[in-house]
Chains A and B, each alone.
Chain A
Amino acid sequence: MGSRLPSTKMSSGWLMIKAATLSILVLLSLSSPFLGAMDIDLSKVWLFDSIEHKIFFELRLPRLMLSFFSGVILALSGWLFQTLFRNALMTPFTLGISGGAILGTGIAVVLGINSIVAGVALTGLFGFAGALFSVILLLWLSRYIVHRGSSSLLLLGIALSFFFSAALMVLFSLASAMQSHAILHYTMGSLSTMGYGESLSIAFLSLLLLAVLYIKRFELALLAINDDHARLKGVDTRRLTYTLLLVSSLAIGVLVSITGPIGFVGLIIPHMVRKLYPKANHQLIIPTALFGGLFLSACDTLSRLPQLQSDIPIGIVTAFIGGPFFIYLIIKGK
């Protein structure tokens, strides 16, 4: 039994990996506003009428905010879905929820709806509606599953994803050439933004999600054992699940309507944090949020490093960087 006991002292090699990961992520994130099609010198940022000032405050800083808080939402939703359904492969993507949000946003584009009502972008509402629709569809369909294991739920989610992307293809053929182009560009995922409207709303939603998860951490700790266990200890699991799904669909729906799909963050960040911090699941909410934000903003920096005609879609970078690192963590094991 001795060898199975948790080592109270982390091996120094592992500590090094942790420190290196964190400092690389922080460094890349912090340098994000200075790098890109035009590299910016810090000294010129403070000259009010310089082009650097304009680029820094109107393009780069909002973009850093958008990428950081998008990363927070993606990582936290991944963590939440894995906890709620007790399956390591659950994310808003594998369950078809962001597929629904993409379809909702696509519909808004085809209908030509891109106005802002009472400070809320209507495409965001369509994204939220799409996400919520797929959550409700998923829950409704799961009632008819005979073997209610979480793997059947995952299969349902994958089926829904395929259905939604097929519906998006139909939408393509209905749309005009310009709309098709807009949808195509949107489905590649992008963090480019202008001004603070989008980044502030994503920041607000990510903090809302973080606050709700943190307040509900005791209930989520019980749910992470199993559903019956949580109910035996007095958790109204159905109400809790519905509340959390509603809040996360709102965050994911609006996020996807702005950035398009950005895969992989929700899957790998919670696992990465579990490997780096071997603690009980409910104690990882804040590290997961932090790593998610840093990871996505670091990936965004990398996507703008090569001086190409256009930025590399962010989803490609997250997969390219995250994939090998994740495999390394799995093999290295802990």
Chain B
Amino acid sequence: MIVVEAVSCGYQRPVLHDISFSAEGDLCVLGVNGIGKSTLAKALCGLIPARGEILIDGKDLHSFSAGLRAKAITYIPPKLESFDGLITVHEFVLMGRYPYKDPFTAYSEKDEKLVTTLIEESTLEAGHRISELSSGQQQLLLIAQALSQQSDIIIFDEPTANLDPRHAKTFYDALNTLPETTQKIVITHDLNLARQLGFEILFLQEDAARHFKDPNIFFQADNLEKCYGVTFTINEDVIGVAYD
């Protein structure tokens, strides 16, 4: 459960002004390029300072310790940037278990087992080094790590941007393996994906967030035209993976 109250955030100059919304269910965040979708996600995870109030499960974001915040909410960036390229896939995914690790000890055997399973499901090779992965594989890697983190709220930023249809299905299957209680937030430009996910829609504008609890209202041609400023045709002849 996320409650955002009059939040303004950004970098050298603010990107988002006075945004308010609250969401209990899964959410798809849409909006034009550069409007601040990723900025909002970073503010929700406490990576950038924000004015206003952000409540995660009823608690102020700033009241969380670093470890508890990682258990409550996490964010998966669209691509991986790492100084150390020699970390293996296994080591990388294992780091998702960091918030559960006892200080002064190594990762537990239970953590190791969970990670081994997640890597098998992700179609990656445990021993490969992360610098050798393609951008699509890096995306699968980041997703696998976030799944091992088991946060209550997971924000996916453009999760399928670099994935072929088969691996996009892998991502979709991964979403379905998450517990019901996990709140999933997906940032995307892919309207077909957004529609197939069937989540509530949050359409982000510079100084407002329009919340559509019923996605069908958002996906009407005249509403889309109002939101994006271009005309849309909607028909059923699109090619899309059968996500069922």
Residues of A participating in the B interface, judged by any CB pair closer than 8 Å: 1, 4-6, 83, 86-87, 146, 215, 218-219, 221-222, 224-226, 228-229, 231-236, 274, 278-282
Contact = CB atoms under 8 A, between A and B. Distances in A.
User: Which of B68, B83, B96, B149 counts the most chain A CB atoms within 10 A?
Assistant: B83
Nearest to B103: A215
A234 B82 contact: no
13 contacts: A83-B83, A215-B104, A218-B95, A219-B98, A224-B82, A225-B80, A225-B84, A225-B95, A226-B82, A231-B45, A231-B66, A234-B68, A280-B88
B101 A281 contact: no
A228 B82 CA distance: 11
Contacts of B66: 231, 234-236
A215 B105 CA distance: 8
Nearest to A217: B106
Contacts of B45: 231-232
A223 to B, nearest CB: 9
Contacts of A86: 83
B179 to A, nearest CB: 20
A228 B69 CA distance: 13
Contact of B83 (A224, A232, A233): A224
B69 to A, nearest CB: 7
Contacts of A4: 132
Interface of B: 12, 42, 45-47, 65-71, 74-75, 77, 80-84, 86-88, 91-92, 95-96, 98-99, 101, 104, 106-107, 127-129, 132, 134, 149
B129 A225 contact: no
A80 to B, nearest CB: 13
Contacts of B74: 232-233
Given A218-B101, A225-B84, A278-B86, A146 B12 contact: yes
Closest 5 CB pairs of A and B: A234-B70, A86-B83, A234-B99, A224-B84, A236-B66
A221 B128 contact: no
B70 A279 contact: no
Contacts of A236: 65-66
Contacts of B65: 236
Contact of B75 (A219, A232, A234): A232
Contact of A233 (B42, B46, B70, B80): B70
Given A228-B47, A233-B96, A280 B128 contact: no
A106 B107 CA distance: 46
Contacts of A219: 98
A231 B43 CA distance: 12
Contacts of A221: 84, 87, 91, 95
Contact of A280 (B69, B87, B96, B107): B87
A6 B132 CA distance: 9
Given A233-B95, A233-B99, A281 B86 contact: yes
Contact of B71 (A231, A234, A282): A234
Contacts of B84: 83, 221, 224-225, 280-282
A222 B132 contact: no
Contacts of A226: 81-83
B86 A279 contact: yes
Given A4-B132, A233-B95, 17 more contacts: A1-B132, A215-B104, A218-B95, A218-B106, A219-B98, A222-B95, A225-B81, A225-B84, A229-B82, A232-B45, A232-B47, A233-B96, A234-B69, A280-B87, A280-B88, A280-B91, A281-B86
Nearest to A231: B47
Contacts of A224: 82-84, 87
B128 to A, nearest CB: 7
Nearest to A239: B66
B75 to A, nearest CB: 6
Given A231-B47, A280-B91, A225 B99 contact: no
A37 to B, nearest CB: 44
Given A225-B82, A225-B83, A278-B86, A233 B47 contact: no
Contacts of B134: 1
B92 to A, nearest CB: 8
Nearest to A278: B86
Contacts of A146: 12
Nearest to A215: B104
